[in-house]
Amino acid sequence: MLAFAQSDIGMVRKTNEDSYIFLPPHLFVVADGMGGHVAGEIASNLGANTILEYIKHYSQQSNWEQVLKEAIIHANKIIYQMAQCKSECLGMGTTITAIYIDGPEVHWGHVGDSRLYLIRDNKLHQVTSDHSLVWELVQSGSITFAEAQGHPHRNILTRAVGTSETICVDSGSLAWQVGDSLLLCTDGLTNMLTEEDILTICLKPESPQTIVTQLINQANAAGGYDNITAIIVQYRD
């Protein structure tokens, strides 16, 4: 396995509200915070680190899909409680997309519009579904995927961690194989680059560090309107 992670403030924002956990060979998390002042940064950092602390209590033989789901639910509780106690944090929340790699199995948990992609056979497969107003319009056939890319309401979330007392978490597992790559990223990347752009960079015979750097640089060159976080994990001999 080869892997690399990087987060960038972008070209417009004054603070970076993205957070990530990079703990190869098993745990990788991206989180994109929302809220006024520093609340988004607090929410994403608290969410990501709560997941890290939560899974430390489990053994290698655990049901990792279920553990990730429970960890995100626990993070939701922690963030929501803090938001209720501190007026400056009221309404804060975060996206969370997390994976736990257990040999040939990749287990994932997800809330929000950050994404997990599988790159296999020269194709980019979106594993997670966005919890956003625009994604619901795409799923219903009201707009096309191409129209969603530049939709003015693409940042409106229908689900986020910490904004309500309870949360519904998407989860799943997939088998990956030699030659596959995984990409976890926040919407600062996917709102700036098309999937064709992302795939072209990810297919280059480069190291994960070079690929992640090129993804972020190209997103910034396209405007960099948001914070950008990307993690690449390659399954290699």
pLDDT of residue 72 exceeding 80, the answer is yes
124 CB neighbour count, 10 Å cutoff: 17
Distance CA 95, CA 18 (A): 9
Q: Residue 14, SS3?
A: coil
Tell which residue, 230, 233, 232, 234, has the closest CA to residue 6: 230
Helices (H), 95-185: 133-140, 145-149
HSE, side-chain direction, 13 A CA sphere, residue 59: 1
> What CATH number is given for 2-234 in this structure?
3.60.40.10
Q: Are 232 and 4 in contact (CB under 8 A)?
A: yes
Percentage above 70 pLDDT, the chain: 95
- pTM for the whole structure: 0.94
pLDDT score for 145: 65
Mention every residue, 6+ apart, whose C-beta is less than 8 A from residue 63.
none
Residue 171 confidence class, pLDDT cut points 50, 70, 90: very high
Burial class (CB in 10 A: 0-12, 13-18, 19+), 34: buried
pLDDT score for 136: 77
Provide mean pLDDT across the span 55-79: 94
Answer with the residue of higher pLDDT: 10 or 149: 10
pLDDT score for 218: 98
Average pLDDT, the chain: 93
**Quick one: DSSP state of residue 21?**
E
pLDDT in tens, 86-138: 888 888 999 999 999 999 999 999 999 999 999 999 999 999 999 988 877 77
| Chain centre distance of CA 66 | 18
Q: How far, in Å, are 42, 178, 180 from residue 116 at the CA level? A: 23, 18, 13
Domain segments of the chain as ranges? 2-234
